[in-house]
Structure 1
């Protein structure tokens, strides 16, 4: 088949080029813009059965319609309580030059100057994707209410919730802009851009009291910074990927047209792949998360250039043997076509196994990257040879007079260091020396290499679960949202940035049994139950704090505030003073507001669900917050009981407690589900990738025992890489290191196993070919020497493309780039040229004794042929 492809491309090179270019141009023209098909967020990709997703569904069914009730004026609270799914922008104002904190001038500035500017933004700002200076002239007209992105503005002057916004030390206060959009929507960028311009404007700064500082925080600000960092990282990564590939190709080939061949091949194939993916996403066949194109670009560039390099290297070998260009090309595709297809197939199948994961982003990445690899493989087998035929001898310009283009031709001046190294055959001598060393002392080389790498592998095993799930830790420390969050955490409990919303769902028949045919639609019943849970929960945490037990199970949860139907504004003293001073009419409004806000009154769950908003002292993004949330849920369950003088029997209280379902909504709940899902996916993906790649290479090599060792060697390199990544980023920032990003282990294992085996396949294919001439051991040494240079070049290019991810600003992308690049270099220069050949020589020379039969050694006793004896003798004497 591959010879037919080679002959067909040789006869009609222009046709193949025209067809591919036209196909790519049409696909790009028909594809929708990426903004129209990208999907934002992390938590949106969780399985539907995840507890936090069920909590969202519970809220939407039982609570959401109540937002249309009662006018805002008559509510004792704000929509931030009514809509925990919404996002917000928080302006943090702080004064630290006075012990007493904020001044009356500060309050006047907020009320008369800042709020006036914000109200102007509220009236004139729609949802929008982009913001650039000068665009403020476009947004001057007042918009209808339903087109505005800002739903409401809440300040310290608001009697309903204002006391909650001022910090306990009186040195900071919050201005909250409640939005109609979710926090990771790209449509928030216009508002936040305009808001930053207002806050930084000279007019506002002149009116701002001296000593008062402003910073931005809030979920929408975090989301904006995440999306902006992803976009900037993608642009930088793509630029540096192309630049690196150009530089390396020119250094390797010293012929600009020859370097252009893989660059154009991969460039067109990547553009076509991304266009086809957008078309499929536009048709609803697949999903594409924001930032996926970065991984497609990097992986496909690295793999595609590798495929082209292997084909060109074999093409030069065939030309050097005296064949014509068309014959050399046909032979090249015939000889390496199957190896390239198998190599790519291994990557495609291995990475495609991510499609079986629960987490949506992993599924999308598995398909998109595999699809890109398939497209670039097709290009490498058709588009690349067509270009080579079309260029003819000019492919090796500037020296087009000689046929043996691999020996002296070049574009760089002959006086360069690179040319001197090539003239002295330094690289070839290096691989010959490596082969001799391994042939003489295979056991020592193998054992010493494993022992040298073992410490990093042990670190990788011990710390593989030390992962970071935080959004803020992923952003650059100078991002507005990070700066603002630090200011908030300086003056408020850390948990205020992510309150936990707890839903307690009771079976309707149990409620009727306990409360005498009444349920939570009755405000008195729900308030009675809410009071019991709220007081019991707070009292239990106070007891644990007072006892100061050393038992981990008896540690306090760290509850700072609880808001519920019983106390809708929490335990803030000023807020409760405001409630007690309400006139009689407003007291009724308070009770109505509290009932409809903290009790589910709609849908099939009407009268069955209570809600609690709990603020903890712990950072919701910290690793320990997940365990704290589980303790909080358990504490809520244990708080479902009434005072001893209650008329409800203890057995009915126990039944109410035992049948309750507890759901959590919020940042920590979503992170807990994310951890749970991705932990399961890691196990599943690791198994599927390992088994699928093993089956593919067994099908090609038909040596199951040796193939098992090849898998083990790459898994070993994965563990080493994981350990090295932990060590590198810990040493980079010992105090701020929170673990590697949760995505790194999954992508690292999948890509290293799937693509790391590529080089082993190409080496083993050449080993099999050389063993026909040089015998078992001699074939291994010959294959190592003949493939050492080209595989190393490919490895350097592949690693370089992965390292370009480190040019981004997101810490997760930086960690991913380091891990993948280091892993490829490790596989290129340690696993493939040292661990694999030394093991094979030990095996083929009978060093494992009788046990070698179980490892894939030939059944017969090792007896080298005359030619092999002569070859080995020459190698030792050399």
Structure 2
């Protein structure tokens, strides 16, 4: 059946090559035209794709239902501080420059949000109900901006640079203008409005033409901003103040890894650059770097946004470097322009068609055009698609062209094209299907990123295979023998035949040297197969054991994805020098009762629950409606008239506490209670995860206790640490499930293609050994590169490395073994093995180098910016994403091990041992 299919396919493509070319040109144009941009439909984040049964997913659902519309999901924390000495008045002047800019932005956002909720003018109390709080916040933020601006200018007046005034420098003229317009709309103080308008004109005379109406301003990067808390707040200021540091916290409605955070992080970064350039540049600069004032950004959204930026740059570098490396390899291999063009055009079409098709289907799935279709793509999915398509596609073309060279020396061109395609189709199908089915098994994963990404890559690889089996041979058929120009390959040239055995070089001498090398390897292996086999296993066993014991030594720390010099990592270090990290990453506890309780009763029960939680290991503070900041633990006594008591009352009335701890939604009103726990330690650390898990167990036991006030309550935990706990739990289970599925899928494909059960089992063993050896060497390498900064490989690396390496690694084994089986039909096992190794050695090596090069291109973001800088080329790329760099290195190394070690030593030596054993058995029988 397979033979009939390959014959029909070869006949169709070689005889109908013109319609084939037209079809692919039309398909490429149409799909590219209708497909949405990848970035417009790509998802990101990790926590958003946990199964619905996980506690944090259920907690997020409850939070969205109980606190709709304005729930903060992430934050950007801006740190103003010194490492050692206290801040002085010049430092606080820089802080004022920062605050006035941020408060104006927040005022603009609140005003636009009120307009979006139906406000078109008139007093605040007559505005639509949903718009009223945002109008009030807009006015308060503009008031705060102007107050800080006045204080800033009093300190800065003697240092104003001799530059033309702008809307924001040296004074916030735009803030005076906006407040005048807002007071005019809401019917506020007319005198104040007039004074503000005159001040704005005095500062910037043509401000009317420079300032856009508020409704027309592009505030998209700031649209997720829900609140701005700072050290300047009269009530919360003490929480965000230390002698050597100050904090400003931007609360955002977007998830920490939402794609819109890219623009938000970049926009905040521009404001920080403006502050550094304008006011910080004029502040005193101590010679000791540790005493200099720093203004840095961190927080969950900053880390998530920078991770996405790094992924975006990694995609850009990976795609460009992949194309360049493939182009260079093809030039070195063929030294024939048209032979270089055919694979590049074919793979380019495959990438465009497959990514456009996937993007279109995903868009239809998101919009419900195809309700039964469930597809999602991610920012980093494109990296794997490009790399695997270019690597595998080039390999397919190399094998096709190699076979065509052999056939072209023996038959006319149309016949040669037909025979070449017919001869390689079964091998290419077997090779591709191991990868397709291996990646397709990720569909069984419960973690969304695994579940969607594997099948998407498999679909794209299938498209690439179809292109290489149709478009590439059609192009070769159309170009004719001139495709080998400046070399000639004709049936009449007997001397050409020796040139065709290995397509590494068109030069006959180099070809003979290459063929001779593989003949020597084949003879050596078949003479001493047991020695080669044992040494080969032993050499991989040591790194394989190290990979085995370190397979689970991975990190789930999102911030560790970024280089230590990344802005958010610098901000994280500055923040941790002065504040407890847990204060900006609280664990949210939701207790949902089955029945309503009076609000005051709930508050009393929360007090006793808070006392219980303070007794739990690792709990530093508990934030409740009675104590919104968690700075009054049970053992802290205070008098009724003390300053702390009055401050506590003020905190309870602050907007941060209002509608935060209790829901006003009917479904949850007087049933839901919310607490925030400050846990000691790094939120990403395993020790912190254990503490949080123990707290969750304690609360669930309390809910099961029939004598407890909270009996029958549903307990939910939300926050970074609970999400990490769920993510670790799901991915560990997925790793075990998917590994078994991949091995079974690849094994079944091998049995179907090779039909040698023992040999297939051994081939599975070799790739497993190769995987663990690669993992061990990767761990050792990055331990040396990162030094003290090494906290483990990225948690996604082991599974992706396993799936891709086990699937792709079998390609070259399939090529070799199918050739051995083919040769055995003509001669004995010894001659067949030597001939197969000799004939396939050069082409498999070339293919392995191509695939390794494409995987290594994933590391380009680590070294390409530095190389460009040395060449005098400025690059705006961010620092690389460690997870992609580590995976690219591991995959490239694994393919090289498979190409030069497994396929060269382990597989031929085992086949030789089996052949020798069978020969002895036959002699014994005789």
Which band: TM-score by shorter chain?
0.7 to 0.9
Residue by residue over 1:87-132, the C-alpha shift from the partner in whole angstroms, topping out at 9 and shown as x without a partner, is 222210113463xx23355446535x332211222344689xxxxx
Cross-structure match for 1:435: 522
Distance in 2 between the 1:587 and 1:464 partners? 48
Distance in 1 between the 2:856 and 2:747 partners? 27
Distance in 1 between the 2:737 and 2:648 partners? 61
Is residue 2:112 matched to residue 1:25? no
Instruction: State whether residues 694 and 708 of structure 1, in contact with CA within 8 Å, keep that contact through their aligned partners in structure 2.
Output: yes
Cross-structure match for 2:883: 812
Structure 2 residue aligned with 1:580, among 629, 645, 669? Answer: 645
Instruction: State whether residues 163 and 572 of structure 1, in contact with CA within 8 Å, keep that contact through their aligned partners in structure 2.
Output: no
Is residue 2:787 matched to residue 1:734? yes
Instruction: State whether residues 198 and 204 of structure 1, in contact with CA within 8 Å, keep that contact through their aligned partners in structure 2.
Output: no
Distance in 2 between the 1:231 and 1:671 partners? 24
Distance in 1 between the 2:248 and 2:436 partners? 51
Instruction: State whether residues 347 and 389 of structure 2, in contact with CA within 8 Å, keep that contact through their aligned partners in structure 1.
Output: yes
My pick for the range that moved more, 156-165 or 193-202, is 193-202
Distance in 2 between the 1:270 and 1:314 partners? 24
Cross-structure match for 1:472: 559
Instruction: State whether residues 856 and 892 of structure 2, in contact with CA within 8 Å, keep that contact through their aligned partners in structure 1.
Output: yes
**Matched residue SS, 1:774:** coil
After TM superposition, list the pairs within 5 Å mapping 1:316-331 onto structure 2.
316-320=405-409, 322-331=410-419
Cross-structure match for 2:429: 341
Is residue 2:270 matched to residue 1:197? yes
Is residue 2:230 matched to residue 1:155? yes
1:860 CA displacement: 5.9
After TM superposition, list the pairs within 5 Å mapping 1:219-238 onto structure 2.
219-238=300-319
After TM superposition, list the pairs within 5 Å mapping 1:822-837 onto structure 2.
822-837=893-908
Is residue 2:806 matched to residue 1:753? yes
Structure 2 residue aligned with 1:379, among 467, 474, 491? Answer: 467
Cross-structure match for 2:254: 181
Cross-structure match for 1:122: 106
Distance in 1 between the 2:531 and 2:99 partners? 75
Distance in 1 between the 2:637 and 2:568 partners? 28
Cross-structure match for 1:571: 631
After TM superposition, list the pairs within 5 Å mapping 1:379-418 onto structure 2.
379-400=467-488, 403=491, 407=498
Distance in 1 between the 2:467 and 2:823 partners? 28
Cross-structure match for 2:353: 272
CA gap of 1:833–1:296, structure 2 versus 1, over 3 A, is: same
Structure 2 residue aligned with 1:491, among 578, 583, 589? Answer: 578
Cross-structure match for 1:615: 678
Cross-structure match for 1:142: 214
CA gap of 1:862–1:617, structure 2 versus 1, over 3 A, is: farther
Residue by residue over 1:242-267, the C-alpha shift from the partner in whole angstroms, topping out at 9 and shown as x without a partner, is 11101111111121211221111111
CA gap of 1:572–1:528, structure 2 versus 1, over 3 A, is: closer
1:451 CA displacement: 0.8
Instruction: State whether residues 593 and 712 of structure 2, in contact with CA within 8 Å, keep that contact through their aligned partners in structure 1.
Output: yes
CA gap of 1:406–1:776, structure 2 versus 1, over 3 A, is: closer
Distance in 1 between the 2:653 and 2:691 partners? 35
1:157 CA displacement: 2.3
Could you tell me which runs of 5 or more consecutive residues in structure 2 were left unpaired when the two chains were aligned.
114-165, 169-208, 286-291, 366-372, 862-879
Is residue 2:65 matched to residue 1:88? no
Distance in 2 between the 1:38 and 1:593 partners? 33
Residue by residue over 1:392-451, the C-alpha shift from the partner in whole angstroms, topping out at 9 and shown as x without a partner, is 1211111237555565699x9xxxx97889437332222111111111111111011111
Provide TM-score, normalisation by structure 1. Answer: 0.83
Distance in 2 between the 1:265 and 1:94 partners? 55
Cross-structure match for 1:530: 606
Is residue 2:87 matched to residue 1:102? yes
**Matched residue SS, 1:177:** strand
Residue by residue over 1:315-374, the C-alpha shift from the partner in whole angstroms, topping out at 9 and shown as x without a partner, is 111123x21111111111222111111211221111111111111111221121111111
Could you tell me which runs of 5 or more consecutive residues in structure 1 were left unpaired when the two chains were aligned.
68-82, 128-133, 509-518, 542-555, 642-650, 847-856, 866-878
CA gap of 1:366–1:406, structure 2 versus 1, over 3 A, is: farther
Residue by residue over 1:493-536, the C-alpha shift from the partner in whole angstroms, topping out at 9 and shown as x without a partner, is 1323421112234443xxxxxxxxxx44x232212221112223
CA gap of 1:859–1:34, structure 2 versus 1, over 3 A, is: same
Instruction: State whether residues 408 and 489 of structure 2, in contact with CA within 8 Å, keep that contact through their aligned partners in structure 1.
Output: no
Distance in 2 between the 1:831 and 1:444 partners? 15
Instruction: State whether residues 35 and 360 of structure 2, in contact with CA within 8 Å, keep that contact through their aligned partners in structure 1.
Output: yes
After TM superposition, list the pairs within 5 Å mapping 1:443-482 onto structure 2.
443-482=530-569
Is residue 2:922 matched to residue 1:861? yes
1:863 CA displacement: 8.2
1:292 CA displacement: 0.9
Distance in 1 between the 2:919 and 2:318 partners? 48
My pick for the range that moved more, 238-247 or 16-25, is 16-25
Distance in 2 between the 1:812 and 1:776 partners? 45
My pick for the range that moved more, 211-220 or 788-797, is 211-220
Distance in 2 between the 1:228 and 1:23 partners? 32
Distance in 2 between the 1:139 and 1:719 partners? 62
Structure 2 residue aligned with 1:841, among 901, 907, 912? Answer: 912
1:310 CA displacement: 0.8
CA gap of 1:371–1:524, structure 2 versus 1, over 3 A, is: same
1:733 CA displacement: 1.8
1:858 CA displacement: 8.8
Instruction: State whether residues 588 and 677 of structure 2, in contact with CA within 8 Å, keep that contact through their aligned partners in structure 1.
Output: yes
1:231 CA displacement: 0.8
CA gap of 1:489–1:435, structure 2 versus 1, over 3 A, is: same
After TM superposition, list the pairs within 5 Å mapping 1:708-723 onto structure 2.
708-723=761-776
**Matched residue SS, 2:630:** coil
Provide TM-score, normalisation by structure 2. Answer: 0.79
Instruction: State whether residues 7 and 326 of structure 1, in contact with CA within 8 Å, keep that contact through their aligned partners in structure 2.
Output: no
CA gap of 1:842–1:198, structure 2 versus 1, over 3 A, is: same
CA gap of 1:283–1:588, structure 2 versus 1, over 3 A, is: closer
Cross-structure match for 1:628: 691
**Matched residue SS, 2:767:** helix
CA gap of 1:603–1:46, structure 2 versus 1, over 3 A, is: farther
1:152 CA displacement: 2.5
Instruction: State whether residues 628 and 652 of structure 2, in contact with CA within 8 Å, keep that contact through their aligned partners in structure 1.
Output: no
**Matched residue SS, 2:825:** helix
Instruction: State whether residues 438 and 803 of structure 2, in contact with CA within 8 Å, keep that contact through their aligned partners in structure 1.
Output: yes
Cross-structure match for 2:837: 784
Distance in 2 between the 1:203 and 1:197 partners? 12
Distance in 1 between the 2:762 and 2:258 partners? 47
Distance in 1 between the 2:626 and 2:652 partners? 14
**Matched residue SS, 1:621:** coil
CA gap of 1:729–1:582, structure 2 versus 1, over 3 A, is: closer
Distance in 2 between the 1:150 and 1:617 partners? 28
